[in-house]
C-alpha cells in the first residue's frame, strides 16, 4: 500500500514538472513616457529602434493600445491590478498605493511562478508579489542612480538604463529558480524628463533638425482646457533643467537651474568631462545666437527631440540584450515578451511635451508583443486594447483564474486570432488637478472613430472629435449640428461605460477630497 502511494506521488510530481515546463515565461518591458511616435515600427521616421521593432516583426503590433489614466504611478497600479484608478485607489501620482490589494504578480507567484520587479515602479512601499525587487525610489536618477533592492537602498555606478538592464539580466541568469516559469517586470526610467542621454549617444542626433508636427503652433481654439495647459515647449520648458544650458558662467538663470545642477553633480569627473565636451559648444552657440520668438520655439523643440530620442537608444539596446539572452538560453519560444510604456507623450503636437490629456498622443501608448507559440509574426491588431487588460491577459496565459472583480479583459484570443468579438469603446479618467502642467480633471469615452471628453472641477466643458476626419483633434465638434446624433450616441456610450466600470460623479468627489488631503499632507 505504502509503495503504491509513493509511486503515485512520483507520477504526480513528474506531471507537475511537465506542466510547469509548458507554462509560458513572461517578460513585461515598460519604459516611461515613450511616445509611439518614437518607435520605428510605428513608421513615424523620427528614429531607429531595431530591437523594439524585432518584437513586432516576430510577433504583433497594436495600433490602438491605450491607457486608462495618462500618468505614471496610476498607470502602473492599473497594470498590476487590472482595475481602473477609481477602483484601485491610485488616481494620481500623489496618493499612496495600497500594496495589500490583489495584483497579477501575486497571483502568478502563488501559482508557482518566479517573479521579479526591476527598475521604475513609482509606487511607494515594498513591492508585493515579487521574490525579488530592485527598484528606483520615486522618479529615479539618470546617472549613478540609487536603487532599493528588496527594501534596502544602495547606489549603483553608471547610467540608469544600462544598470537596470544589468540587474534584470543578473536576475534571469543567477537569481531565479530555473525549473520554474518566471515573470520579469523590466521597467526603464527613460525616456522620462529630464532626458539625460548616455554618453555613447551624445552625437547620434547632435545637429539634427526635426520637422515639427503641423499643429506645433496650435491656438487651442474651441478647446478651453487645452488652452490653460502648462506643458508648452516654448512657454514652459526650462532652458537649463530641460534643455541642459547649464553654462559655467552662470549667466543663464532659470527657475529650475539648481534642480538640474543637482542632477549634474551626481556624475563623476569622467562622466562630467564627456557631458561638458558635448554640451559646452551647444551652450556657447546658443548664447551667441540670442534667439527669440518662433526661432527660439523651434530651437527648443529640436534640443528636446535630440535628447529625448537619444535616451531611447539606450532603452532599445537593453531590449536587444534581453532578447539575445532569451534566445541564447533557449527561452525565446516559450516566453511572452511585451513592450509598452506607462503612457504616450507629446513630441511637439499641440506645441507640447508631457502627457495627461485624453488626446491621442498621450492616451495611446506603444504596444508590441511576441510569443512564437501562439502569435504569428507580423500580426497587426487594430482593436481597442488598454493597460487594464495586461493583468487578465497574463493570468490567462499562465492558466490562473481571473478574479471576477478584474475590469480588464484578456486579449490572448484577439492576438492569436481565435476571438472575433471585442469591445467597441474604452473609458478614461484623469484626476491630478490642481497639479503640475495644469491639465484639468476629465473623463471620456473613445470608440473606433469618435471621442467624447468632459472637463470638470473648476471648468465644465465638453469636447467631441471625429478622429477619422480630424486625427490631430484640432476641431471640437461638440456643438456642430452635423454631429448631434453622434453626440447623443457618445453620451449614451459614456454612461454605459461609467456604469460598467462603476464610476460616478460622487466617486470623483471622494477622489478629489483624498487627493487634496494627500497633497497637503
Q: Taking CB under 5 A as the rule, does residue 354 contact Ca ion?
A: no
Quick one: angle between helices 293-328 and 160-170, nearest 10?
20
Q: Taking CB under 6 A as the rule, does residue 436 contact ligand SGN?
A: yes
Q: Site for ligand SGN (CB under 6 A): which residue of 194, 340, 393, 410?
A: 194
CA separation (Å) from 327 to 7, 322, 333, 367?
37, 9, 8, 21
Residue nearest to Ca ion (CB): 72
Residue nearest to ligand SGN (CB): 72
Q: Site for Ca ion (CB under 5 A): which residue of 23, 30, 31, 33?
A: 33
CA distance 29 to 322: 10
Residues 477-506, mask of contacts with Ca ion (x by CB under 5 A): ------------------------------
Q: Quick check: helix, strand or coil at residue 322? A: helix
Q: Site for ligand SGN (CB under 6 A): which residue of 437, 441, 446, 498?
A: 437
Q: Which of residues 212-271 bind ligand SGN (CB under 6 A)?
A: none
Nearest to 66 by CA among 388, 503, 440, 417: 388
Contact 91, 360 (CB under 8 A): no
CA distance 460 to 486: 20
CB of 519 to ligand SGN, least distance (A): 13
Quick one: angle between helices 293-328 and 269-289, nearest 10?
150
176/244 with CB nearer ligand SGN: 244
CA separation (Å) from 417 to 113, 186, 380, 413?
27, 27, 10, 6
Q: Site for ligand SGN (CB under 6 A): which residue of 27, 32, 49, 346?
A: 32
- CA 29-32-33 angle, to 5 degrees, is 130
CB of 430 to ligand SGN, least distance (A): 11
Containing 56, the helix (H) or strand (E) segment is helix 50-57
Q: Which residue has the cell 508631457?
A: 354
Partner from ligand SGN, Ca ion, none contacting 437, C-beta within 5 to 8 A by type: ligand SGN
CB of 139 to ligand SGN, least distance (A): 6
Q: Site for ligand SGN (CB under 6 A): which residue of 31, 37, 85, 93?
A: 93
**N-to-C CA span, the chain:** 66
Cell of 102: 490583489
Please count the residues of the chain: 521
CB of 401 to ligand SGN, least distance (A): 32
Using the rule CB under 6 A, give the single segment among 105-113, 192-200, 304-312, 475-483 that binds ligand SGN. Answer: 192-200
Site size for Ca ion (CB under 5 A): 4
Partner from ligand SGN, Ca ion, none contacting 354, C-beta within 5 to 8 A by type: ligand SGN
CA distance 327 to 54: 13
Q: Taking CB under 5 A as the rule, does residue 342 contact Ca ion?
A: yes
Q: Site for ligand SGN (CB under 6 A): which residue of 34, 192, 350, 446?
A: 192
Q: Taking CB under 6 A as the rule, does residue 92 contact ligand SGN?
A: no
102/349 with CB nearer ligand SGN: 349
CA 339: distance to chain centroid?
10
Q: Taking CB under 6 A as the rule, does residue 272 contact ligand SGN?
A: no
Q: Which of residues 363-392 bind ligand SGN (CB under 6 A)?
A: none
101/139 with CB nearer ligand SGN: 139
Q: Taking CB under 6 A as the rule, does residue 71 contact ligand SGN?
A: yes
Q: Taking CB under 6 A as the rule, does residue 102 contact ligand SGN?
A: no
Site size for ligand SGN (CB under 6 A): 13
Contact 342, 30 (CB under 8 A): yes
CA distance 283 to 75: 36
CB of 280 to ligand SGN, least distance (A): 23
Partner from ligand SGN, Ca ion, none contacting 63, C-beta within 5 to 8 A by type: none
Q: Name every residue whose Cβ is closer than 8 Å to that of residue 353 and which is 6 or more positions away in sequence.
A: 193, 231, 233, 237, 242, 304, 345, 346, 347
Q: Name every residue whose Cβ is closer than 8 Å to that of residue 463 and which is 6 or more positions away in sequence.
A: 222, 223, 225, 451, 452, 453, 455, 476, 478
Q: Taking CB under 6 A as the rule, does residue 354 contact ligand SGN?
A: yes
Q: Taking CB under 5 A as the rule, does residue 72 contact Ca ion?
A: yes
Contact 199, 121 (CB under 8 A): no
The site for ligand SGN (CB under 6 A) is made up of: 32-33, 71-72, 93, 122, 139, 192-194, 354, 436-437
The site for Ca ion (CB under 5 A) is made up of: 32-33, 72, 342
Amino acid at each position: 500500500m505504502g509503495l503504491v502511494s509513493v509511486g503515485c506521488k512520483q507520477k504526480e510530481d513528474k506531471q507537475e514538472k511537465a506542466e510547469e515546463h509548458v507554462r509560458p515565461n513572461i517578460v513585461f518591458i515598460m519604459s516611461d513616457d515613450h511616445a509611439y511616435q518614437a518607435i520605428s515600427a510605428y513608421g513615424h521616421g523620427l528614429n531607429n529602434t531595431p530591437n523594439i521593432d524585432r518584437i513586432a516583426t516576430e510577433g504583433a503590433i497594436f495600433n490602438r493600445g491605450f491607457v486608462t489614466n495618462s500618468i505614471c504611478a496610476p498607470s502602473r497600479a492599473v497594470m498590476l491590478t487590472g482595475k481602473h484608478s477609481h477602483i484601485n485607489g491610485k488616481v494620481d501620482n500623489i496618493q499612496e498605493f495600497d500594496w495589500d490589494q490583489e495584483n497579477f504578480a501575486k497571483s502568478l507567484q502563488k501559482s508557482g511562478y518566479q517573479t521579479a520587479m526591476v527598475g521604475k515602479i513609482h509606487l511607494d512601499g515594498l513591492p508585493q508579489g515579487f521574490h525579488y525587487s530592485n527598484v528606483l525610489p520615486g522618479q529615479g536618477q539618470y546617472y549613478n542612480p540609487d536603487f532599493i533592492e528588496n527594501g534596502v537602498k544602495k547606489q549603483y555606478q553608471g547610467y540608469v538604463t544600462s544598470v537596470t538592464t544589468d540587474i534584470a539580466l543578473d536576475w534571469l541568469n543567477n537569481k531565479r529558480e530555473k525549473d520554474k516559469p518566471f515573470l520579469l517586470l523590466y521597467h526603464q526610467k527613460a525616456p522620462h524628463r529630464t532626458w539625460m542621454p548616455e554618453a555613447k549617444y551624445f552625437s547620434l542626433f547632435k545637429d539634427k533638425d526635426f520637422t515639427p508636427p503641423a499643429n506645433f503652433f496650435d491656438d487651442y481654439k474651441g478647446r478651453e482646457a487645452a488652452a490653460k495647459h502648462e506643458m508648452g515647449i516654448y512657454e514652459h520648458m526650462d532652458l537649463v533643467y530641460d534643455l541642459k544650458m547649464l553654462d559655467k558662467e552662470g549667466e543663464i538663470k532659470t527657475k529650475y537651474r539648481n534642480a538640474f545642477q543637482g542632477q549634474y553633480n551626481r556624475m563623476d569627473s569622467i562622466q562630467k568631462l564627456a557631458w561638458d565636451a558635448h554640451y559646452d559648444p551647444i551652450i556657447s552657440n546658443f548664447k551667441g545666437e540670442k534667439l527669440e520668438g518662433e526661432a527660439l520655439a523651434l530651437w527648443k523643440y529640436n534640443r528636446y527631440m535630440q535628447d529625448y530620442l537619444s535616451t531611447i537608444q539606450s532603452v532599445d539596446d537593453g531590449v536587444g540584450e534581453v532578447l539575445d539572452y532569451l534566445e541564447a538560453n533557449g527561452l525565446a519560444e516559450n516566453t511572452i515578451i511585451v513592450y509598452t510604456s506607462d503612457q504616450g507623450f507629446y513630441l511637439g503636437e499641440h506645441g507640447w511635451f508631457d502627457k495627461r490629456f485624453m488626446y491621442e498622443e498621450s492616451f495611446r501608448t506603444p504596444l508590441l508583443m511576441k510569443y512564437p507559440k501562439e502569435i504569428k509574426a507580423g500580426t497587426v491588431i487594430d482593436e481597442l486594447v488598454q493597460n487594464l487588460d495586461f493583468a487578465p491577459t497574463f493570468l490567462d496565459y499562465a492558466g490562473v483564474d481571473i478574479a471576477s472583480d478584474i475590469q480588464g479583459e484578456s486579449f490572448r484570443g484577439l492576438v492569436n486570432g481565435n476571438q472575433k468579438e471585442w469591445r467597441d469603446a474604452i473609458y478614461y479618467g484623469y484626476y491630478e488637478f490642481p497639479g503640475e502642467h495644469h491639465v484639468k480633471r476629465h473623463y471620456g469615452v473613445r470608440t473606433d472613430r469618435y471621442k467624447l471628453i468632459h472637463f470638470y472641477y473648476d471648468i465644465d466643458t465638453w469636447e467631441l472629435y471625429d478622429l477619422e476626419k480630424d486625427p490631430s483633434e484640432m476641431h471640437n465638434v461638440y456643438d456642430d449640428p452635423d454631429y448631434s446624433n453622434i453626440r447623443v450616441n457618445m453620451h449614451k456610450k459614456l454612461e454605459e461605460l461609467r456604469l460598467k466600470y462603476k464610476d460616478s460623479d460622487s466617486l470623483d468627489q471622494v477622489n478629489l477630497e483624498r487627493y487634496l488631503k494627500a497633497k497637503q499632507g
